C-alpha cells in the first residue's frame, strides 16, 4: 500500500488556519488531522482530544524525554508538540496527515521529513491579522501582542515553504490549497 503524505500548514496565529482546515476537512474527510499536545489553557469551546490534548508542563516534559513527540516548540509562552505515534500509523495506512504547526516545528519536520509538503498561510496585511486576532476575541491583550510580534518573524520566513497562500478571500485560499494537495495524476494537455 502506498504511504500517505505528510502535509505541514504554518502561518501566523489568527491568519485563519483553523478556519481553512475546518472547510478542508469537511470537503476531504479522507485526510487526517494530527491533534497536538499543548500546555496552553483551553479556550472557551475547545474540546480535549478534538482541538488539543491539554497537558501540564510536567506531562509535556515527560513526553519530550520519552521521545513521544515528532517535533515540539515553545510558542508565545506555551509548549506545543506533535505526538508521532498516530501520525506514523496513519501514514503507514496510506492516509495523508496534516500538521498545523508553527515555524520552528515546520523547520524540524523539514529536517526529519524533507519530502513533507509545507504550506505557509499569509495574511493580506499585518493590520488585517491584528484585526482578526482581536475579532476572534479569545486571547488576552498580552497574548495578542506576543502573537503579533511572532507573526513578523514567521512571515519573514514564508519563502522557506513550498507554497505561500494568502488568506484574503477564504474560498480562493481554500481552492489554492486543494489544487496543491490534489494535483491530478497524469496531467494531460
Ligand atoms: P488561526 O487558526 O490561524 O489562529 P483562525 O482560523 O482562528 O486562525 O481565524 C482567526 C479569525 O479570523 C477568526 O475569527 C476567523 O473567523 C477569521 N478569518 C479566517 N479566515 C478569514 C478570511 N479569509 N477573511 C476574514 N476573516 C477570516
Ligand atoms: P494556538 O495557541 O493559537 O492554538 O496555537 C499557537 C501556535 O502553535 C499556532 O501557530 C499553531 O500552528 C502552533 N501549534 C499547534 N500545535 C503545534 C504543534 O504540535 N507543534 C508546533 N510546533 N506548533 C504547534
* 103: CB partners within 8 A, 6+ apart: 10, 73, 153, 154, 157
Q: Alpha carbon 101 to chain centroid distance?
A: 3
Going from the Cα of 184 to the center of ligand 2, the distance in angstroms, rounded, reads 31
Q: What single DSSP character describes residue 39?
A: S
3-13 exposure pattern, b = at least 16 Cβ within 10 A, e = fewer = ebbbbbbbbbb
Query: Per the domain annotation, does 164 fall within a domain?
Result: yes
Is 121 within 8 Å of 165 (Cβ atoms)?
yes
Q: 11-26: per-residue pLDDT in tens?
A: 999 999 999 999 999 9
| Protein residue with its CA nearest to atom 17 in ligand 2 | 101
Query: Per the domain annotation, does 188 fall within a domain?
Result: no
Domain count along the chain: 1
pLDDT of 75 above 60: yes
Query: Per the domain annotation, does 48 fall within a domain?
Result: yes
Q: What is the CATH number of the domain that holds 92?
A: 3.40.50.300
Give pTM, 2 decimals.
0.94
* Mutation choice for ligand 2 from 15, 75, 97, CB with most ligand atoms inside 8 A: 75
Residue 187 or 136, more confident: 136
Is 34 within 8 Å of 111 (Cβ atoms)?
no
Query: Per the domain annotation, does 186 fall within a domain?
Result: no
Query: Per the domain annotation, does 1 fall within a domain?
Result: no
Place of cell 496527515: 97
SS3 7: strand
Query: Per the domain annotation, does 61 fall within a domain?
Result: yes
Query: Per the domain annotation, does 47 fall within a domain?
Result: yes
Going from the Cα of 13 to the center of ligand 2, the distance in angstroms, rounded, reads 8
Q: 23-45: per-residue pLDDT in tens?
A: 999 999 999 999 999 999 998 89
Residue 153: domain span: 6-181
Query: Per the domain annotation, does 189 fall within a domain?
Result: no
Q: How confident is the model at residue 139 (pLDDT cuts 50, 70, 90)?
A: confident
| Protein residue with its CA nearest to atom 5 in ligand 1 | 16
Amino acid at each position: 500500500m502506498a504511504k500517505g503524505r505528510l502535509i505541514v500548514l504554518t502561518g501566523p496565529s489568527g491568519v485563519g488556519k483553523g478556519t481553512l482546515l475546518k472547510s478542508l476537512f469537511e470537503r476531504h474527510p479522507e485526510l487526517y488531522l494530527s491533534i497536538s499536545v499543548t500546555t496552553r489553557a483551553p479556550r472557551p469551546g475547545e474540546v480535549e482530544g478534538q482541538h488539543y490534548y491539554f497537558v501540564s508542563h510536567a506531562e509535556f516534559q515527560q513526553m519530550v524525554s520519552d521521545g513521544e513527540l515528532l517535533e515540539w516548540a515553545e510558542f508565545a509562552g506555551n509548549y506545543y508538540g506533535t505526538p508521532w505515534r498516530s501520525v506514523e500509523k496513519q501514514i503507514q495506512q496510506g492516509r495523508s496527515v496534516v500538521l498545523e504547526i508553527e515555524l520552528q516545528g515546520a523547520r524540524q519536520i523539514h529536517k526529519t521529513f524533507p519530502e513533507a509538503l509545507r504550506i505557509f498561510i499569509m495574511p493580506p496585511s499585518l493590520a488585517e491579522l491584528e484585526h482578526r486576532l482581536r475579532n476572534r476575541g479569545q486571547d488576552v491583550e498580552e497574548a495578542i501582542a506576543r502573537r503579533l510580534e511572532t507573526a513578523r518573524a514567521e512571515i519573514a520566513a514564508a519563502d522557506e515553504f513550498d507554497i505561500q497562500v494568502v488568506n484574503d478571500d477564504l474560498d480562493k485560499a481554500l481552492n489554492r490549497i486543494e489544487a496543491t494537495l490534489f494535483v491530478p495524476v497524469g496531467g494531460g494537455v
